[in-house]
Amino acid sequence: MKPLCLILAAFLAIFGLAGCFQMERVIKLKPDGSGTIEETMMIPKAALADFQKFAPGNKPPDVFDEDRLKQAAGKMGEGVTFVSAKKMSSDAGEGFSVVYAFTDINKLKIDQNPGDSMSGPGGTPQGGKKDPFVFHFTPGQPAVLRISMPPPQFKPAKPGDAGPDDATLRMMQQMLKDLKIVSAIEVGGAISESNAEYHDGSRVTFMDVDFNKVLADPAKFKAMIKANPQTIEEAKKLIHGIEGVKIETAPEVTIQFQ
């Protein structure tokens, strides 16, 4: 998994004004290797208003596009099918939830970042460098799932590099406000053994980042952004000291369940 400072940079590049998206993806795995992918996206009204300002003719953004969500199934791997989708609306904002089914988790092609499988208002792709999970599942008693992730990339330290200035940091704080992103897997049974750092009951969390909690401590946020870890151990120490951040850093997670 990428260290947090690189994830932050990716978020800024991907979402721009729409940094306050709230996204969640949960993969639910059955003992036979099949299962579902459940995704939700919510966009606060303030962000929708920003999109509308820049849209042609100031047309309100189209948050829910069922056809586009159906097409996304074909990019998730062999045997993935669209099940259902519904629009979500509240006083806080608008969004959608969508469910896909898969027949074999070994054939899934799911990116680590939930935002990369979704589209923003008006069909804007949440693109960027792809970092897919690789799943290896063996049924049995217990069933064993191994999830491989690309190794973290570290930016070489440059002498005298002080990091972003205060103006840039203030801009990042505004852009990241209300952004929350969750990625997890739930297995159909009790986990008997796992090396995952964040697991509870039948659920393993790969990423759970709540930037409102991160931004609640401006000094720590500033130190985090300016940090440039050079090893996975340094990245772990950086992440563990931040409220509102859970990111799995192991290159491979193993889950045994029955």
* Residues 67-82: tens digit of each pLDDT: 999 999 999 999 999 9
> Looking at the predicted structure, is the pLDDT value of residue 17 above 70?
no
% helix, strand, coil for the chain, step of 5? 30, 35, 35
Give how far Cα 213 sits from Cα of 55, 173, 221, 243, Å.
Answer: 31, 12, 10, 6
> Looking at the predicted structure, is the pLDDT value of residue 100 above 50?
yes
H-only helix segments in the chain: 4-15, 45-54, 66-72, 166-176, 211-214, 218-226, 232-240
First-last CA distance in the chain: 27
Q: Give residue 115's region: left, alpha or beta (phi > 0; psi -120 to 50).
A: alpha
Task: Report which residue type is found at 6.
Answer: L
Pick 181 or 104 by higher pLDDT: 104
Pick 144 or 55 by higher pLDDT: 144
Dist CA 212 CA 180 (whole Å)? 8
78 φ, ψ to 5°? -65, 135
Average pLDDT over all residues of the chain = 80
Average of pLDDT values for 57-73? 83
Three-state SS at 206:
strand
Task: Report which residue type is found at 215.
Answer: L
Domain count for the chain, please give it. Answer: 1
* pTM (predicted TM-score): 0.81
Average of pLDDT values for 97-106? 97
Dist CA 209 CA 47 (whole Å)? 19
Q: Say what the pLDDT of residue 159 is.
A: 67
Q: Say what the pLDDT of residue 61 is.
A: 66
**Residue 7: other Cβ atoms inside 10 A:** 19
Residue-range definition of the domain harbouring residue 53: 4-257
Q: What is the helix (H) or strand (E) element at residue 219, kind and residue range?
A: helix 218-226
> Looking at the predicted structure, is the pLDDT value of residue 128 above 70?
no
Average of pLDDT values for 90-115? 88
